[in-house]
Amino acid sequence: MSTRELDRELLEGMSRTPLFEGASAETISRLAAQGVTRRFRRGTYLFHQGDEAPDVYFLVRGRVEVSSLSTSGHRQLHTTLDTPQFFGELGVLGEQPRSAAALALEETEVWRADGHVLLEFLTEEPTAARALLRALARQVLSQEAFVEDLLYLDLKGRVAKRLLQLVSPSLDELPADGAVVPSIVTHADLASLCGGSRENVTRILSDFQRRGIVERDGKRFVLVKISGLAKLAGL
């Protein structure tokens, strides 16, 4: 891909993010011009947990896994990014070290800019600042919901709910039967998202497949019976 094509893809990706809702093409171009685009090979870390956080990133294309290690060495998958979006902004906003690591799962291209560029942009664009606050509020609510699930849902219910959230994050409107999980999620990834062991999650997924609730299409999960998963998730 040529530099011009990559720049066009960057601007188009930024224009579709909530942060730039209602922003002019000139505004987006002004911010994009203050950063650089870099390519990371598969298996390369963009940053590590505990690193200083002087910059912010935007995924242009590819896939990035965001995960962390607890003090006991337990790996926690936070998310897999596979659509154009900002990431790494929490460290910049909070002036804190990276709370997680970011790993390229395939050849990945990202835009990177110094943190002060984002902070100055948010100061000059109050609409973007409000959009970012809304996004941060959703993250807080998501963490609160996860804690509630740990308290009130058994592991089978948590697996069902996480599968649904991978295809419909809000859960306000569930998709039709046959929805395909957009990103490749392993049993270990799902176990990390659900707060369970890989072995137990594997047994639960095998049970779902026997009951015709979930199928596999290559490496991706297909949610065959949305109503069955919703019932298990207490929705």
- Structural domains in the chain, CATH included, are 3-138 (2.60.120.10), 153-232 (1.10.10.10)
Check pLDDT > 80 for residue 16: yes
Phi, psi of 208 (to 5 degrees): -60, -40
Check pLDDT > 60 for residue 1: no
At residue 44, the pLDDT reads 93
In this structure, the chain runs to a length of 235
At residue 9, the pLDDT reads 84
Two structure tokens written together for 234: 């207490």
pLDDT category at 72 given cuts 50, 70, 90 is: low
- Average pLDDT of the residues in 37-59: 92
Contact 85, 41 (CB under 8 A): no
Question: How far is it, in rounded angstroms, from Cα 25 to Cα 14?
Answer: 10
Two structure tokens written together for 133: 């606050």
At residue 96, the pLDDT reads 86
- Average pLDDT of the residues in 12-41: 85
Which amino acid is present at 99? S
- Average pLDDT of the residues in 125-153: 72
At residue 146, the pLDDT reads 64
Helices (H) and strands (E) in the chain, counts: 9, 11
At residue 143, the pLDDT reads 65
- Average pLDDT of the residues in 16-42: 85
pLDDT tens digit sequence for 168-183: 766 777 888 888 887 7
| pTM of this prediction exceeds 0.85 | no
